[in-house]
Amino acid sequence: MNILAIGDVVGSIGCNFLRSHLPALKKMKAIDLVIVNGENSANGNGLTPASAQFLFDSGVDIITTGNHCFRRRESYDLYDSCETLLRPANFPPSVPGHGFCVVDMGRIQVGVINLMGVVYLESMDSPFDCVDRILAQGMPKITVVDFHAEATGEKRALGYYLDGRVSAVFGTHTHVQTADECILPKGTGYITDLGMTGPIHSVLGVKPEIIIQKMRTKMPARFDIAEGDCRIDGAIFTIDEATGRTVEVERLTIV
Catalytic residues: 68
Distance from C-alpha of 154 to C-alpha of 148, rounded to nearest angstrom: 10
Alpha carbons within 13 A on the beta-carbon side of 181:
18
User: Which amino acid, one-letter code, is at 23?
Assistant: P
The sign of the dihedral angle between the CA atoms of 218, 219, 224, 229 is negative
User: Which amino acid, one-letter code, is at 84?
Assistant: T
Which distant-in-sequence residues (6+ apart) come within 8 Å of 8 by Cβ?
A: 37, 38, 39, 40, 66, 172, 173, 175, 194, 195, 196, 197, 198, 205
Q: Which of 236, 232, 238 is nearest to 253 (CA)?
A: 232
Rounded to 5°, angle at Cα 171 from 189 and 111? 60
Distance from C-alpha of 84 to C-alpha of 64, rounded to nearest angstrom: 8
| 3-class state of residue 89 by DSSP | coil
Which distant-in-sequence residues (6+ apart) come within 8 Å of 11 by Cβ?
A: 40, 41, 42, 43, 44, 198, 205, 225
What's the chain's length in residues? 255
